Amino acid sequence: MLRFIVRRLLQLIPILLGLSLLLFAWLRALPGGPAQAALGERATPEAIARYNELFGLDQPLYVQYLRFLGRAVQLDFGNSARTGRAVTEEFFERMPGTIELTLFAMLFAIGVGIPLGYLAARRHGSWLDSTSVIGSLLGVATPVFFLAYLLRLLFAVELGWLPGSGRQEVRIDATRITNFYVLDGLLTREFDAAWDAFLHLVLPGIALGTIPLAIIVRITRASVLDVVNEDYVRTANAKGLATATVRRRHIVRNALLPVSTTIGLQTGLLLSGAVLTETVFAFGGVGSAIFDAIFARDFAVLQGFILMLAVVYVLVNLLVDISYGLLDPRVRVR
């Protein structure tokens, strides 16, 4: 198992180097170069020359890349052109919101998806099975931003049951400790602030969790159907084991192996930034920051946020591989 983990860690090095190279090339491929894109209408030849000299863009490309790589290792991506604050500081300020939203979305997807997929497999060919298959197809096919607008229009605007924007009511004077608003409210015993922050997660969390929900339903259903037909399940039934025991020990435990991998990968994708969902609900996370940076041409934020999110995604995938190795005896044997 240790060899498996070390091999996965070593594989991260070329992946991260490749990501950094792609990001570096993308910035240099902007029309007119980074200076032209950042300065916009103020891009006179003199201003471009000063900008290039200030940021070392007049150096050879390999020198620029090595300097970029050295600063990236130190998490130094410069300052935001909009706010003047350090990019890393803004990232760690906004990332808790994205983590909260991702956790809510995945808890919603797992809590509904696994039981529904299992029941659909157990009642294969029934109306429940057909409904779950059609529903999962609709869930994957429906654009997230479209569903987000529908949920906001119905439950926030028309019915007024849930808040439709932000992470918390602006009139609440809440104490900030970790920037996880729900957790901060619980730690400081400001339960009204925690409850309000939770309510603000409901609509964006459901919208964001719809696609993972549909995928988890389909993977769970297919996995249970495969496991039910395995020889060891038929042997357990032939021995006269209780039905609940067979389902718990032989069917569910083995069927959840591919489901756990799917959950991990979907979590990594959501953590990488829910740009559309956060934008629709004006949710102060990483995704909305990227959206604002695109229109403001804040390339320091884009560069830093994209690279750090890529690292987050790669690390989550590493944890998925390690978890699968711990759960699957075939990997442990190797």
Q: What does the alpha-carbon distance between residue 262 and residue 211 come to, in Å, rounded to a whole number?
A: 12
Query: Cβ atoms within 10 A of the Cβ of 133, count?
Result: 15
pLDDT tens by residue, 30-57? 666 667 666 666 677 777 788 777 777 7
Contact 217, 116 (CB under 8 A): yes
Note the pLDDT of residue 256.
80
Q: What is the CA radius of gyration of the chain?
A: 24
* Mean pLDDT in residue range 24-29: 76
pLDDT tens by residue, 170-195? 888 888 888 888 898 888 888 888 99
Contact 327, 257 (CB under 8 A): yes
Contact 35, 43 (CB under 8 A): yes
In DSSP terms, which residues pair with 79 in a beta bridge? Answer: 86
* Mean pLDDT in residue range 107-131: 87
The tokens for 172 are 């609440």
- The answer, yes or no, to whether residue 69 has pLDDT greater than 80, is yes
| pTM greater than the 0.85 cutoff | no
What letter does residue 43 receive in the DSSP assignment? Answer: -
- The answer, yes or no, to whether residue 107 has pLDDT greater than 90, is yes
Average pLDDT, the chain: 82
Of 62, 27, 41, 42, the C-alpha closest to 304 is 27
Q: Where are the domains of the chain?
A: 94-278+314-331
pLDDT tens by residue, 296-326? 777 778 888 888 888 888 888 778 777 766 6
Q: What does the alpha-carbon distance between residue 24 and residue 162 come to, in Å, rounded to a whole number?
A: 42
- The answer, yes or no, to whether residue 334 has pLDDT greater than 60, is no
- No. of helices (H) and no. of strands (E), the chain: 16, 0
Q: What does the alpha-carbon distance between residue 220 and residue 234 come to, in Å, rounded to a whole number?
A: 20
Note the pLDDT of residue 333.
47
Note the pLDDT of residue 199.
92
- The answer, yes or no, to whether residue 119 has pLDDT greater than 80, is yes
In DSSP terms, which residues pair with 86 in a beta bridge? Answer: 79
The tokens for 271 are 């953590």
How far from the centroid of its chain's Cα atoms is residue 116's Cα? 23
Task: Give the pLDDT band (50/70/90) at residue 328.
Answer: low
Note the pLDDT of residue 330.
57
Note the pLDDT of residue 22.
85
Phi/psi zone of residue 244: left (φ > 0), alpha (ψ -120 to 50 degrees), beta?
A: alpha
Q: What does the alpha-carbon distance between residue 300 and residue 155 come to, in Å, rounded to a whole number?
A: 37
Task: Give the whole-number percent of the chain exceeding pLDDT 90.
Answer: 8
* Mean pLDDT in residue range 54-66: 79
- The answer, yes or no, to whether residue 329 has pLDDT greater than 70, is no
Highest mean pLDDT among 54-68, 76-90, 94-108: 94-108
Note the pLDDT of residue 206.
92
Q: What does the alpha-carbon distance between residue 144 and residue 208 come to, in Å, rounded to a whole number?
A: 7
* Mean pLDDT in residue range 118-126: 85
Measured in degrees and rounded to the nearest 5, phi and psi for residue 86 equal: -65, 140
Note the pLDDT of residue 275.
81
Domain 94-278+314-331 in CATH 1.10.3720.10? yes
What letter does residue 168 receive in the DSSP assignment? Answer: S
Task: Give the pLDDT band (50/70/90) at residue 1.
Answer: low
pLDDT tens by residue, 201-223? 999 999 988 989 999 998 988 88
pLDDT tens by residue, 257-306? 888 888 888 888 887 767 888 888 888 888 888 888 877 777 778 888 88
